[in-house]
Every structure is written in C-alpha cells, then in structure tokens.
Amino acid sequence: MERLLLTLIVVAVFLLLLWGMRAGWRRKARSQSAWVPPFPQVPDDPGEPELQTEGLYVSTTTAGNWQDRIVTRGVGMRGRAWLRLHPGGIAVDRAGAPGFWIPRESVTGARAASAIAGKVMGTDSLLVITWQAGDVALDTGFRADDPADCPQWIEELRIRGGAR
C-alpha cells in the first residue's frame, strides 16, 4: 500500500509539471502574439526556387537572443522542413506545421551559428537568417541535412541582396 501511494504521488507530480509547462507555453504564445506580427504566407506562385535545402527547422527567436524562442503563430515547434530561396523571398515549408515566407527585402543577415533555441551544436552548422517581421527583428534557425549547403545560402543571400 505504501508503494502504491508513493507511485501515485510521483505520477501526480509529473502530471502537474506537464500541465505547468503547457500553461507556460500557452501564456508565452498569447503574450508574443501582441507584439509579433503574423508571419507572411508563401505566395501562390513564388517562382522557381534558385536554391533549396532539406533539413530541420529548429526555431525562430528574437534577433541576437538565441534562447528567446518565438512560440506564437505555430512557429515554436521544430521539425523536418524544406528551405527554398525564390526571387522574392524564402519559403520555409515545414512538415506537419504551417509554413511561412520570409520576404527577400526583410532579410538583414545570414550566418552560420552553433546554437539557437532548441539546438546546440559543436560547430557552426546551423544557418541563421536574420529578418524583420514588422518592427520585430527575428532569427530563424535551420540545420541542413548536408552541412555544405549552409555556406551556399549565406553567399546567395549576400550576392542577391537582402543580407547586409
């Protein structure tokens, strides 16, 4: 009987912690939705992709703060994704989650990094694209399946405009 009681207490504490994490995530999403504008949707006809990469969408954070994850509007969860560079912007097509569009004129930088919320790596193998959504500067992190793709993206964004 004593063992059953201890087991029930542990399960109850675990469930309480899960509920607290979920409530915190929802509260953060509500507060962010007040100051983070809706992300642009991918245009119906964005044109032919100039560059595309398959990999892992890691997260979007406030620019310069790699641990401040944006969770509002469905961008908080990481997962498989395809990054496609089109003449007018970048399509982030996420499997099982809403995709979004980063207009080319909104891109202010692109770099290789070793960390962003949800992923820390030993080398600079994450592509981080800095861009403006309204008045908010954001960093979007992506880990390509082929690490050689990251320098191509950085160079392409510098050459074709957007990244300064």
pLDDT band at 160 (very low <50, low <70, confident <90, very high): low
pLDDT of residue 164: 47
CA angle 62, 149, 75 (to 5 degrees): 30
Phi, psi of 74 (to 5 degrees): 80, 10
pLDDT in tens, 60-96: 999 988 888 998 877 888 899 999 999 999 999 999 8
Strand ranges of the sheet holding 100-103, from the earlier edge strand across to the other edge: 100-103, 89-94, 79-86, 51-62, 136-144, 126-133, 107-113
What's the rounded mean pLDDT across residues 43-69? 90
Task: For CA atoms 106, 112, 113, 117, give the dihedral sign.
Answer: positive
Phi, psi of 58 (to 5 degrees): -95, -60
b/e string for 120-135 if b means 16 or more Cβ within 10 A? eeeeebbbbbbbbbee
Q: What predicted TM-score, i.e. pTM, was given to this entire model?
A: 0.84
* Contact criterion met (CB below 8 Å) for 69 and 61: yes
pLDDT of residue 76: 84
pLDDT of residue 29: 79
Nearest-angstrom CA–CA distance, 66 and 15: 29
Fold observed for domain 51-159: PH-domain like (2.30.29)
